[in-house]
């Protein structure tokens, strides 16, 4: 893995974390009626799952 690959992997991981957190938090807080503390916790959990999934996918495809 080169430095360019590492930075691309970090960028996509950070993007997955951000998108999952924001999307799940906003949907849970506005559409599903959770209070905002619950919505943030749910968004954080979704972010962790997204990062873990991205890491496992990279590991599987990387050999």
pLDDT tens digit at each of 63 positions of the chain? 555 555 557 888 888 899 999 999 999 999 999 999 999 999 999 999 999 988 888 888 875
pLDDT at residue 38 in the model: 96
pLDDT at residue 39 in the model: 97
Cβ neighbors of 20 (< 8 A, separation 6 or more) are 43, 46, 47, 49, 50
d(CA 40, CA 60): 30
In this structure, what is the dihedral angle of CA atoms 33, 36, 37, 42, given to the nearest 10 degrees?
60
pTM of the model: 0.77
């Amino acid at each position: 893995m080169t430095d360019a690959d590492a930075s691309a992997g970090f960028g996509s991981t950070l993007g997955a974390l951000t998108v999952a957190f924001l999307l799940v938090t906003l949907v849970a807080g506005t559409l599903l009626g959770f209070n905002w503390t619950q919505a943030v916790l749910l968004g954080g959990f979704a972010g962790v799952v997204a990062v873990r999934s991205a890491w496992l996918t990279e590991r599987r495809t990387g050999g």
